[in-house]
């Protein structure tokens, strides 16, 4: 009895466990089926077809379902698909080679010339400060100019020639800036234009000194011509230093101040040469009273004619 009752109890227990397990499996399977059906009806990640199955011979009908998905791809017609995209040319955009323009070359010439002029002026002032001081005093006093002429004839003329060469550089640079500002360049390349302006100034003044040397040899005015040559050197020396400052202001000043700066430079140039002309008249006073015709001929030939020829050449070019 005991064994039979235990077996019956074991059988009932197994049947109960199997019944519970079967019910649990059925409930779980039913829950999965219900959840799957609901997910299939409202799944936002389903890929819905956007093109219709009907494709005509010439046209393609596109069906765009309204799903509210911002990532939907809208099909295009064959005509739109056939349009090839316009590609930029191969040289468009950034290039490995820098583009060199006329303005950039002009700015480079202006910068290098300005720095070179200031550097040369600094070196000359450092080496020949005493000679520059004497030249400035001779610029203001006629007696000191005669004394300076005697010192120069004694062999101390190199510093004054170096300052004179600096004047030719600064004067040629000023003419170069004028031609570029008024858009009448002497040459197409900026460096060539600057070189021609400097050479033009040098040829003008060297030609004048040669003409004065010829007059000194032909006529008995050797002392006066020597003093006048020294007067030209001294006055141009002072003007060259002033032009270095004026060139820098004119080249790098604002556009609204370029014309006032230009007028100021012209006023300084006119004042210096007017002062030089009056000093020369004072030195040639003894010839002026007896040789008025020859003096007038000299003024027209040596002083006025070269300037008019230079202006005519610049305006014609």
Q: Which of the given ranges, 7-11, 100-104, 307-311, has the highest pLDDT on average?
A: 307-311
Mapping DSSP onto H, E and C, the string for 227-256 reads HHHHHHHHHHHHHHHHHHHHHHHHHHCCHH
pLDDT value, residue 51: 47
DSSP character for 87? P
Q: 14-28, 49-63, 80-94: lowest mean pLDDT where?
A: 49-63
> For residue range 146-191, what is the model confidence (pLDDT) as tens digits?
888 888 777 778 899 999 999 999 999 999 999 989 888 888 889 9
Higher pLDDT, 178 or 88: 178
Average confidence (pLDDT) over 86-98: 51
pLDDT value, residue 273: 92
Give CA–CA dist 226/233, Å, rounded: 11
pLDDT value, residue 218: 84
Higher pLDDT, 226 or 155: 226
For tokens 């791809």, name the residue: 73
Count of beta carbons in the 10 Å neighbourhood of residue 237:
24
pLDDT(113) > 70: yes
Chain mean position to CA 173: 17
Average confidence (pLDDT) over 124-142: 92
pLDDT(278) > 70: yes
Extract the tokens encoding 171: 């004067």
Average pLDDT, the chain: 77
pLDDT value, residue 32: 52
Give CA–CA dist 287/299, Å, rounded: 13
pLDDT(127) > 90: yes
Extract the tokens encoding 46: 């389903």
pLDDT(268) > 80: yes
Give CA–CA dist 176/306, Å, rounded: 19
pLDDT value, residue 107: 92
User: Where does the pLDDT of residue 300 fall: very low under 50, low under 70, confident under 90, or very high at 90 and above?
Assistant: confident
Higher pLDDT, 93 or 145: 145
Strand partners, 62: 51
pTM score, whole prediction = 0.65
pLDDT value, residue 99: 47
Q: Which of the given ranges, 41-45, 81-85, 109-113, 296-300, has the highest pLDDT on average?
A: 109-113
> For residue range 179-203, what is the model confidence (pLDDT) as tens digits?
989 888 888 889 999 999 999 999 9
pLDDT value, residue 279: 85
pLDDT(25) > 70: no
pLDDT(85) > 70: no
pLDDT(95) > 60: no
177 burial via Cβ count (<10 Å: 0-12, 13-18, 19+): buried
pLDDT value, residue 186: 83
């Amino acid at each position: 009895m005991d064994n039979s009752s235990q077996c019956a109890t074991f059988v009932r227990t197994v049947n109960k466990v199997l019944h519970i397990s079967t019910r649990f499996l059925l409930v779980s399977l039913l829950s999965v089926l219900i959840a799957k059906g609901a997910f299939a009806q409202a799944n936002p990640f389903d890929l819905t077809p956007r093109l219709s199955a009907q494709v005509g011979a010439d046209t393609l009908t596109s069906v765009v379902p309204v799903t509210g998905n911002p990532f939907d791809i809208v099909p295009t017609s064959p005509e739109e698909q056939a349009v090839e995209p316009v590609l930029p040319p191969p040289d468009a955009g950034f290039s490995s080679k820098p583009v060199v323009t006329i303005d950039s070359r002009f700015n480079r010439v202006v910068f290098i010339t300005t720095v070179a002029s200031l550097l040369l002026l600094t070196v000359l002032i450092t080496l020949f400060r005493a000679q520059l001081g004497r030249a400035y005093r001779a610029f203001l006093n006629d007696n000191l100019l005669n004394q300076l002429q005697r010192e120069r004839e004694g062999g101390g003329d190199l510093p004054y020639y170096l300052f004179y060469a600096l004047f030719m550089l600064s004067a040629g640079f000023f003419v170069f800036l004028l031609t570029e500002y008024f858009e009448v360049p002497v040459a197409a390349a900026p460096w060539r234009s600057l070189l021609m302006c400097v050479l033009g100034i040098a040829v003008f003044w060297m030609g004048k000194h040669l003409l004065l040397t010829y007059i000194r040899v032909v006529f008995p005015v050797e002392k006066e011509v020597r003093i006048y040559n020294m007067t030209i050197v001294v006055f141009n020396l002072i003007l060259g230093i002033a032009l270095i400052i004026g060139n820098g202001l004119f080249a790098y000043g604002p556009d609204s101040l370029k014309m006032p700066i230009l007028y100021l430079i012209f006023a300084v140039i006119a004042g210096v040469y007017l002062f030089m002309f009056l000093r020369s008249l004072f030195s040639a006073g003894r010839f002026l009273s007896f040789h008025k015709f020859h003096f007038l001929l000299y003024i027209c030939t040596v002083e006025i004619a070269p300037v008019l020829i230079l202006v005519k050449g610049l305006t014609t070019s």
